[in-house]
Structures are given as structure tokens and as C-alpha cells.
Amino acid sequence: MPSVESGNKMVARVAILLFLASAKGIWWIMEQPRGSLLEAHPLIQYVFRRIRTWRQHIKMGDYAADTEKATWLYSSALPRKELFIYVYFQV
């Protein structure tokens, strides 16, 4: 299926960028809609097992967006300890 192949390529590119940024010591943050399945993708699980990653749920409406839109934020750094939950995936 072309859409699945395209999605897998996008996830692979994101995983590579996250590894590169982390290797360079660059703090990154990735946003995904609350219902996204990206977190379950094997490549992203591989990244999360190797790079300490923090996760926080927000609502875009709390930040002046037109809609509430539930959102996950993933980050390689912990800007405020009380905001992020450490994400770790078992092998």
C-alpha cells in the first residue's frame, strides 16, 4: 500500500533525525495528536529505548489555539520536571 510505505518512510526519517540531533547534543521536541499511533511504531520504540525521552499531554486550547486538540509532546530534555513523564519501552 502506497500510504503505508510513505508513512513508514516518514517514521524512518523522523527516527534518523532524532538520533542525529541527540548525537549532536541538540534538544528536540516532537508533537503528535493524542490519538496518533506513531508511539507504537517499532522504529520509534527503538529510538525511545535508546534515547531518554519525556512525554507530556497538553491541550492546544490552553495555548491560544482555536480548538482543544489533545496533543502529546515528546522531548529529549526535561525543561520542567513536573511537566514531563519519562517514556521507556521494554524490548
Nine-digit cell at 78?
Answer: 526535561
Burial of 44 (0-12, 13-18, 19+ CB in 10 A): buried
pLDDT in tens, 39-88: 999 999 999 999 999 888 888 888 788 888 999 999 998 766 555 555 55
pLDDT in tens, 22-47: 999 998 999 999 999 999 999 999 99
Q: How many CB atoms lie within 10 A of CB 10?
A: 12
Quote the pLDDT of residue 2: 79
3 pLDDT exceeds 50?
yes
Q: State residue 62's pLDDT score.
A: 82
